[in-house]
Structure formats: C-alpha cells, structure tokens
Amino acid sequence: MADGRGRGVRQLRDLRRLLPLPSGRAPVRRRDRRGRGRHQHLDGDADGELVVTAATAYRPDPHTGAVFVFDPVAGERVVPEQASVWVEGTWLQNANGTLPVGDLDHDGTAELLVGEANMDWEAPGRIFVYRGPDLGRHTTTDEAWLTVDPIEPHSNTGWSLGIGDPNDDGEPDLLLGEYNAEPHGQITVVPGPAIAWDAEDGLLLSGSGDDDSFGTFLSVADLDGDGVDDVVVSAHVGGGGGERRGSAYVFLGPITGPIDSSQAAIRIHGETDLAWMGAGVVTGDFDGDGATDLVVAAPSDWYFSYHRPGLVYLFRGPLSPGELRAEDAAVIWRGSEGGEQLGWSMAACDLDGDGDDELVVGAPGTAMGEELRGRVYVVDPL
C-alpha cells in the first residue's frame, strides 16, 4: 500500500520515541478560532499543567472516577497524591483523552471541562465546567462553575467534548458527543457565550444510514483554511459500506442549522470490514506549514479483529470537499505488531517547543512479554 505521495506505509517500530512519562497523560491545550493549537494555563502562570483522568477506578467504588491536575517536572514520575488539584465524581472521563480548556469567561485563565459520561449505561450524562482560579486542592462536581444537562435520555452525553466556534459568531460553543442517542448518535452544538450554555438551544449534527455510534469521537479545527472552525465526527462502529468499517465526517463551518452525516462535506470510510475507521481522530499542524492537518485511526474492532496491528492516516490540510481514501493520505502508519490496535487514543501537542505539533498515539494492545501493557508513541517530525 502506498500513500498519495509515494511514501508507502510506515511502521511505528521505525519511528517511535516512547514517552518517558506515566501512561494516560495529556497536555492541557486549547484551540483558537483559527484552528491553531495554543497552550492555556489553569492557574495563570507561565507553566503548563498536566491533566490525567482515572475514569472508573479511583476509589473503591468502581464508578467513582477522578480528574487530576499536576504541575509536572520533566523526567519526574508523578502519582495521584502529588496532584495540585483533583476533581471527584461518578464516571468522570472524556473519550478523546484530553479535556478541552479555554478562557471562556475572558479572565486570562483557562476553564476545565469534564464529562460525566454515564454511571450505568442508562444515565444521560452531564458536563461540568470549572473556572481555573476556583479549582482547589480537592474539588467535587457540586463546586462546578457551570453544569450542562443533556436533553436526550440515555445518550451518554459527555463521552466526547469539544470547544470551538463552528457557527462563527465570535463566542465559544460547546460540542457534546452523544453517541448513544437514537437512532444513530449525535453531536449537540450548544451556542455561546459560555455562561448561557443550554443544551436545549443546541443544534444537532446527526448520523444517518448505517452509521452507528456517531459522536463517539470529535475534534474542532479549521481544516479547509477559511478561518472558520470545522467539526470532525466519527461513527467508528458504522458500516461505512461494509461490516463495521467505520467512518469519519467533516462538517465545514459556519454551521448554522441541523445537518446529518449524508450532508458532510468530507467523508472518510474504512477500507476493510471491522476496521473501525474513526475510532481515533485528532487535528493539528504537524508539518509547520500553517494549515491544520487531520489524523484518523482505524485500530480495528477489539472484539472480532483484535489481531490486527491498526492503521493511522494523516491527511494534510487544507482539505477540500469530497471523499478521502487511504491513497489520499500523506502518511500511513501501521502498528508494529499484531493486536497492537494502534490509534485507539491520540493527541496533538508541541512537546519539544519548536512550534510544530507532535502526534501522540496510543496502542493499548502492545504486548510486553506475556502481558498487555500498552504503549504510547510520539512521532516528530512527519
């Protein structure tokens, strides 16, 4: 298999640098209206923070999760007891791996969004917003600055979250992934300003056709270079023209009314059955050209095709409307071993301070000896 520029499939075995940090870390990061990543700090100082989620097993009650905020030191291993802030709740998590932050109240410090996706797969889920200056050493969900309740029952609201301005009105909008909403899943775009967020005022991006779990993963960025935020949404369990091939859709801004996946401007479908295309999506400027790139993963169905290594596709921005295929990818990475399921989690961040994003890719199925311990890869440059 070769990509559109003749580079062929790359194996991460040849490119990887292991992160010398605890598994699960994710840099605090926000995106401005132009889609470029910028660091934003919760405490207002010059140093970034490290946000880590423990979704289900922080306390003896398996449904009590926590979010930890650390002030990390390079090369230092940290444990939960060292967190400067922790937030406790029930099943606190965010499926994309990084919790959105942004200066929502224009006070110069960031706010932290936390999704309480569900407790027993029947709960609707909630969103909690915490002001940076108000975060204490130990914070509970009762102390949130804002709480956003869903309108769709049993929808698992909060499994994926995003902040951006896809309606181009200059105010930050909240995007709520509700992959369990009937009939195919949906994204609710709640218009800003943040203090007035109300899910009942939201407009819907919804799945259609054979989509399934539409809204499990999302990302917000300017992918076509017009200065307006666009929205990437996955339906990774959907058919995609076959059995659970999966799909990712790009809805170009400005978005001002309801729209479903059949009307998405850009479509990416899995190449093979059980590929689960879209089980990871992330955006960033990985080549330093000023345009936002799109990365989509197909780690494979973890029930029926767990032996596959997984594939990760990079599509260089700016993107144009139409259907993207594997051969359109500038780079394709394949997992280094069968069952690695490369791409189940991904993040974009500037780890080395050179101004360009690095791609951080998780591979939960990596074996070390007889144990499945997982691995995190950092790719730079592309």
Lowest mean pLDDT among 31-40, 73-82, 256-265, 323-332: 31-40
* C-alpha closest to that of 231 among 189, 270, 201, 191: 189
* C-alpha closest to that of 85 among 31, 42, 29, 45: 42
pLDDT band, very low/low/confident/very high, at 226 (cuts 50, 70, 90): very high
Lowest mean pLDDT among 126-130, 298-302, 374-378: 298-302
Higher-pLDDT residue of 187, 121: 187
pTM: 0.82
Tokens in use for 248?
């990712």
Tokens in use for 29?
């990061």
Q: What is the DSSP string of 166-199?
A: TT-SSSPEEEEEETTSTTT-EEEEE-S-GGG--G
pLDDT over 80 at 72, yes or no? no
pLDDT over 50 at 29, yes or no? no
pLDDT (0 to 100) of residue 45: 62
pLDDT over 60 at 165, yes or no? yes
| CB contact at 8 A, 347 and 26 | yes
Largest CA distance in the chain: 54
pLDDT over 90 at 232, yes or no? yes
Q: Give me the mean pLDDT over the 211-218 stretch.
A: 85
* C-alpha closest to that of 216 among 285, 296, 161, 271: 161
d(CA 84, CA 99): 17
Phi then psi for 14, rounded to 5 degrees?
A: -90, -15
pLDDT over 60 at 33, yes or no? no
Higher-pLDDT residue of 57, 178: 178
Q: What is the DSSP string of 365-378?
A: T-EETTEE--EEEE
Lowest mean pLDDT among 140-149, 225-234, 254-263, 360-369: 360-369
pLDDT band, very low/low/confident/very high, at 35 (cuts 50, 70, 90): very low
d(CA 348, CA 151): 31
To the nearest 10°, report the CA torsion of 114, 119, 123, 129: -10
| CB contact at 8 A, 256 and 231 | no
User: Helix, strand, coil % (nearest 5) of the chain?
Assistant: 5, 35, 60
* C-alpha closest to that of 334 among 363, 355, 354, 306: 363
SS3 call for 13? helix
pLDDT (0 to 100) of residue 70: 78
| CB contact at 8 A, 281 and 295 | yes
pLDDT over 50 at 289, yes or no? yes
Specify the pairing of strand 146-148 against strand 126-131.
antiparallel
Most confident range (mean pLDDT) of 39-43, 75-79, 128-132 is 128-132
**For all residues of the chain together, what is the average pLDDT?**
76
pLDDT (0 to 100) of residue 43: 64
pLDDT band, very low/low/confident/very high, at 329 (cuts 50, 70, 90): very high
pLDDT band, very low/low/confident/very high, at 5 (cuts 50, 70, 90): very low
Q: How many CA atoms lie within 13 A of 133 on its CB side?
A: 8
Tokens in use for 370?
């007889």
* C-alpha closest to that of 299 among 332, 342, 363: 342
d(CA 374, CA 243): 27
Percent of the chain with pLDDT over 70: 71
pLDDT over 80 at 158, yes or no? no
pLDDT over 80 at 124, yes or no? no
* C-alpha closest to that of 236 among 328, 300, 327: 300
Q: Give me the mean pLDDT over the 195-205 stretch.
A: 84
pLDDT over 60 at 6, yes or no? no
Q: Give me the mean pLDDT over the 288-311 stretch.
A: 80
* C-alpha closest to that of 190 among 211, 156, 222, 166: 166
pLDDT (0 to 100) of residue 314: 94
pLDDT (0 to 100) of residue 13: 44
> How is the beta sheet containing 293-298 ordered, strand by strand?
9-11, 331-334, 311-315, 293-298, 280-284
Specify the pairing of strand 50-54 against strand 26-27.
antiparallel
The DSSP secondary-structure symbol of 277 reads B
According to DSSP H, which parts of 103-161 are helical? none
Q: How many CA atoms lie within 13 A of 3 on its CB side?
A: 17
Q: For 85-121, write each residue's pLDDT tens digit.
A: 777 765 555 544 456 677 787 777 788 888 876 545 5
pLDDT over 50 at 173, yes or no? yes
